Amino acid sequence: MRKSKYTGTWAVFDEDYKRGFDDVFRRYAENGIKNVMYGGIALIFDIHKEYYIDTCIDPYTEIEYYKEVGDVFGTKEILIESDFNEVNSIADKYGLSLQLVITPGVSEPIVAKHPSTAVVDIYGNKSPHWMCPSNPDVQQYFFGRIEDILRRYKIGEVELDVICLDFYDPQVVPDWVLPELYPLRQLAIRNCFCKHCIEKAKKAGLNLAKIESEIKVLNDEARSLKYEQFKKWDDTIRGVFDIIRFVLNHPMLIDWLRFRASVVEDFVFDIKNVIKKINSDILLSSDLVSPSFSWTLGQIYSEQPRLTDITKLMLYHKRIGSFEVKPLRRIKSAIPQIKDEELMRQYYRLKGFSGPLTFDEFEREGIDAENIYYEVKKAKVEVGPDYPIVAGLVGDPPATAKDVKEAVKMAYKGGADGYMLHQWYGNTPIENIEAFGEQLRELGEING
């Protein structure tokens, strides 16, 4: 019999609590799911002050905030009041494990309370929610948080979510994000210029003055919201070779993109050391966006085998449109002459995706399932056969059971080494969880 592949789900604690953990965990087990990742689970664990002496960040900041305010995925009061060991022992009865998901990227309450931790753009603007991975206070806070938890609880895997670098979370796209033209925003990305990144870049030998001036010129263009300006880039960057032509004229942008990735990589490398020193059997995984554009966030697949034990590739093909349409709609409201189709075609060309050509359909239906196949395959080719890529697939609505099955099949075809079902947007129908299990069983990816 073949060994079952890695399986898991990103689930919503409050929903599972209300449905009853016994019922929920039994269903997960029946559908081959082994690992349960609850959004915000880090909030369930107590704070022990001795782990936070090297950081200015108040370790109670997030717990206090999420108890009262919450985030796009709801408040976390039930979660915060619950007992991890109690829930984990129910999971254990069904052969499941609760794992630790931690989000070292974005935190609105931490940045609000400690503005010095924010990512800074080239104009000196501070991100309202992104913490810079180069910042020693951010680093020490997360090293402390992880150690505080791992020293006291039996946990088999630490998963890093939003482990990247940018100014705003592309899977949320807050209202304060202003429109900018593609692909300049991505190629001449203007963060992070905090004092720690500047110092690190200088040490790495980057020609920062030249990089800054190029980025400024290109960003002025990206923010010049006129139809002719859109057409200039849309008509001249037609294919991949055009991007090569562009970067040959701006070679230092590659140094900058590479440097940004090193900021993230160095942080992950240090987290790995913290974890493995506590117990080398604890797995470290991290969540990456699709390889076609992960480099814009400082995530480079080929580097991952050196940094973590598992990479989870998140491509929620039915949901991606609901957040990625937002920047496109903002460009269109700034430049009303642009047709949806023009922006959609440009988006697909740049990302290498296929899908519908209107904003409404893109928002409602997302992109074609075949993109999962391509992205998983790209990831596998980059990391090599011996390092696992786990495909993170949509479970939440509007995905139907049929969509879930299609997603599993495409990930399998791409060579996925494991599968995660995403439920964090809420209200995942039970049929979708069952479809996930049925399809994995049919493909022989899980036993029983």
Sheet containing strand 310-314, edge to edge, reads: 97-98, 35-38, 6-11, 418-422, 389-394, 310-314, 283-288, 157-160, 100-102
Using the minimum distance from each CB to Zn ion, give the nearer residue, 134 or 423.
134
Q: How many CA atoms lie within 13 A of 131 on its CB side?
A: 26
Name the minimum Å distance from CB 447 to Zn ion: 46
| DSSP H helical ranges for 250-319 | 251-278, 291-294, 304-307
Stretch of 50-58, 124-132, 140-148, 293-301 contacting Zn ion, by CB under 5 A: 124-132
Helix-then-strand count for the chain, H and E: 21, 11
With contact defined as beta carbons under 8 Å apart, do 160 and 286 qualify?
yes
What H or E segment, with its residue span, contains residue 159? strand 157-160
Using the minimum distance from each CB to Zn ion, give the nearer residue, 116 or 292.
116
Name the minimum Å distance from CB 194 to Zn ion: 3
Name the minimum Å distance from CB 77 to Zn ion: 33
Using the minimum distance from each CB to Zn ion, give the nearer residue, 95 or 136.
136
Contacts with Zn ion: how many residues (CB under 5 A)? 5
Using the minimum distance from each CB to Zn ion, give the nearer residue, 201 or 335.
201
Name the minimum Å distance from CB 138 to Zn ion: 9
Using the minimum distance from each CB to Zn ion, give the nearer residue, 116 or 358.
116
Output the six-digit token pair for 348.
């697909």
* 139 lies in the binding site for Zn ion (CB under 5 A): no
Using the minimum distance from each CB to Zn ion, give the nearer residue, 122 or 172.
122
* 134 lies in the binding site for Zn ion (CB under 5 A): yes
Name the minimum Å distance from CB 275 to Zn ion: 23
With contact defined as beta carbons under 8 Å apart, do 339 and 185 qualify?
no
Nearest to 52 by CA among 155, 142, 159: 142
* 206 lies in the binding site for Zn ion (CB under 5 A): no
Using the minimum distance from each CB to Zn ion, give the nearer residue, 1 or 209.
209
* Residue matched to tokens 């604690």: 13
* Residue matched to tokens 């973590």: 308
Name the minimum Å distance from CB 128 to Zn ion: 15
Q: What residues numbered 165-204 form the site for Zn ion, per CB under 5 A?
A: 192, 194, 197
CA of 123: how far to CAs of 119, 126, 192, 198, 214, in Å? 12, 9, 10, 13, 13
Question: 144: which residues sit within 8 A by CB, 6+ positions away?
Answer: 51, 52, 54, 55, 59
Query: Contact with Zn ion (CB under 5 A): which of 41, 42, 87, 132?
Result: 132
Using the minimum distance from each CB to Zn ion, give the nearer residue, 80 or 122.
122
Name the minimum Å distance from CB 217 to Zn ion: 22
Stretch of 14-22, 130-138, 324-332, 342-350 contacting Zn ion, by CB under 5 A: 130-138
Residue 191 and residue 22: Cα distance in Å, rounded? Answer: 46
Name the minimum Å distance from CB 196 to Zn ion: 5
Interface residue list for Zn ion (CB under 5 A): 132, 134, 192, 194, 197
